[in-house]
Chain A
Amino acid sequence: MIVLVTIAVSLSAIAFLGWVDPKRRRVDSADLSGQSIPKRVAIVVSCLPGVVLVALGEWPEFFLWTGSVSVAGWAFVVWLNAIEQSSQREN
């Protein structure tokens, strides 16, 4: 259960970081007004669950967390790219 919570927390933070990422938004010609959103907080939040798992000595959970975040993070970027591409095609 703890591992699902940590994955959810990190992925939420990563989704936020990806959504507001200025470089990605520039590529997609999106509005850049969201740059002032506290990115550093989101970076800390995304990594914090891993630190907590290490501190608790939950090594199997830590590797599950790292693997999930790696795969889901990549899938999220690919998905984000796909929806931007399809919306640009429609426009």
Chain B
Amino acid sequence: MFALPKVENKRMIAVHGWSGIVLGLILYVVILTGMLAVFAEEIGDWSSGKVDHSSALSNPVDSIVTDLAAQTSDEYKDEVGLSTTSAGNLSVFFHGHFTEDGGSITERGVRYEVDGEGEIVKQIEGSPQEVFGEDATRALEDLFVDLHIRLHIPSPWGEIVTGILGLAMMVAAVTGILIHRHLFRDIFTIRRKTNEIVAERDRHSVAGTWSLPFTFILAFTGSFFSFTIAFGLPAMAMVAFQGDQEAMIEAVVGAPPEASDTKATGANLDSILQASREVAGSEPLFMNIIHYGSDVAQVNVGHAVEDGDFFRRTFGFDGATGEFTGEKPLVGSEPSAGANLVGIIGALHFGNFAGILSRAIWFGLGFASCYVTLTGIRMWLRRRREEQTQLRWLEKLTTTIAWGTPLSIAVGGVAFFLTLPLGLTVEWTMYGFLIGAGVILAFVPLLTEQRLADVLRAALALCLIGLPALRLAFGGPGWPDAFAAGDAMLIAIDIAVVVSALVIAYPLYGSRRFSIPHNKAVVAGPAE
């Protein structure tokens, strides 16, 4: 495609190789978990046994909110957020905004969880992180989503690392284009009759070429989100608003109405929800009431992404009269190209703009990116196998991370199901992940690379087969329950997990190397 001079081509090959070899293994972890995160909500529902996906906002909420407000401290009544919990209950979060000594603004309040009978089943007081972060039923989902966003490194350092990884992915993509002279001409060609390095190179470049547009899109959008959280917003607050976070939040999400001391009964929330249903043509997902109980109250109702849209829509209503005030943009107070752009960036990164179809495609793109990353690292190492024997440890490490990451997550899943009835999933899902990783690392020095790949592959297949069985054994809904509730996703995930286990285990079937004890070094390359 491009014919660079020899010296520059050599430099580009070096940049391509080193950007992959230095950050490739961590990048693989981020991409793999991102691939799972595409179905985070579905995996969360599957693991928590949620088969009823109806919104708690489909039922009347006005009297519930009024009763809860009567027992809530006035300092928490500035804002109220309503949503559905993973158990299908109504979550009502009354909270206020407080300025700390350093000038930063924090939210604190009390969150109630109300079941279908109108009974309070849970009541927690604290910051949003405290009241929402302890959802034991979503611990498995949180495990890989947090790995994807920040590798479980405290904020903002985790976001900085994942942002840099996104940039490395873009560098690898750009240099990949520059060094392949026949990028599109070779798009169908995988040479097998030559040596294994050439075949590996072809497999790498074919997968890389087909997924190229999305490598850019996913890397750019991922870096955008990482750096926005880590740098962008704090820097904007400092530079454009002289550190005034309140002014920045008002500019970014739109200024809330001035608070008023005049009390007002307010419009019926059920009527507002009904009006929003009619405007959007779909069920509401969440409701947010600003300056609750005052004459300047404002109500925003959010809906899921509709077919043909890139992002979810939020509609505004006058809290006192119930009058529709218009659509609320994602960013700012007025519709703008910037707000649309932010929405599009999110949709393109998460792949959630066309239901299951777009998410299945994004999952496939994530798989292709994992494949490109691993084959790239292996190719770089194989080329140096003869001259640089000191890099053998890196080949073994690649195999360890390639199979060990999904295995550790699967062990986290096993720990999740074992501790779900005890309500200890928040801690034990993470402990399971760490124990899995620790055991894998303990095996690394004891086995040859090929043997290690086989053992990790077999262990992963076993864990995956065990997950649906454990889900059922520890009280999860069976297929008849899912059928009765019209939830095909639970059945689909059960099948997908078992099929994945069989596909992973299949190369080991009848494999002599897996049945014969190993007492000498195995020369064969790493498993595909």
Contacts and interface: CB of A to CB of B under 8 A. Distances in A.
B238 interface: no
Given A63-B348, A67-B365, A24 B189 contact: yes
A23 B185 contact: yes
Given A63-B348, A64-B357, A66-B213, A71 B364 contact: yes
Interface string A20-39: 01011001000000000000
Contact of B188 (A61, A67, A80, A85): A80
Nearest to B362: A67
B361 A64 contact: yes
A80 B310 CA distance: 35
Interface in A53-91: 58-61, 63-64, 66-68, 70-71, 73-75, 77-78, 80-81, 84-85, 88
A80 to B, nearest CB: 7
A17 interface: yes
A60 B189 contact: no
A49 to B, nearest CB: 15
Interface stretch (B89-97, B127-135, B203-211, B492-500): B203-211
Contacts of B307: 60
Interface in B166-222: 185-193, 206-207, 210-214
Interface in B340-365: 344, 347-348, 351, 353-354, 357-358, 361-362, 364-365
A86 B368 CA distance: 23
Given A60-B308, A60-B354, A71 B368 contact: yes
Given A27-B192, A60-B353, A71 B365 contact: yes
A74 B208 CA distance: 9
Q: What does DSSP make chain A's interface, helix, strand, loop or mixed?
A: helix
Contacts of B74: none
Interface residues of B, number: 33
Contacts of B361: 64, 67-68, 71
A60 B310 contact: yes
A81 B190 contact: yes
Nearest to B210: A74
A28 to B, nearest CB: 9
A77 B353 contact: no
B189 A23 contact: yes
B190 A27 contact: yes
B309 interface: yes
B192 to A, nearest CB: 6
Contacts of A73: 187, 210
Contacts of B186: 23
Contacts of B344: 59
Contacts of B192: 27, 81, 84-85, 88
A75 to B, nearest CB: 8
Contact of B358 (A27, A64, A77): A64
A64 B44 CA distance: 25
Nearest to A27: B191
Contact of B214 (A70, A78, A81, A88): A70
A52 B303 CA distance: 30
Contact of A77 (B191, B210, B351): B210
A18 to B, nearest CB: 5
Interface in A1-55: 3, 17-18, 21, 23-24, 27
B185 A67 contact: no
Nearest to A80: B188
Contacts of A70: 210-214, 365, 368
A42 B364 CA distance: 25
A85 B190 CA distance: 10
B304 to A, nearest CB: 14
Given A17-B188, A71-B210, 19 more contacts: A24-B188, A24-B189, A27-B189, A27-B191, A59-B310, A60-B308, A60-B309, A63-B353, A64-B357, A67-B361, A67-B364, A70-B210, A71-B361, A71-B364, A71-B368, A74-B206, A74-B210, A77-B188, A80-B188
7 contacts: A23-B189, A27-B189, A66-B213, A67-B361, A71-B361, A74-B368, A88-B192
Interface of B: 185-193, 206-207, 210-214, 307-310, 344, 347-348, 351, 353-354, 357-358, 361-362, 364-365, 368
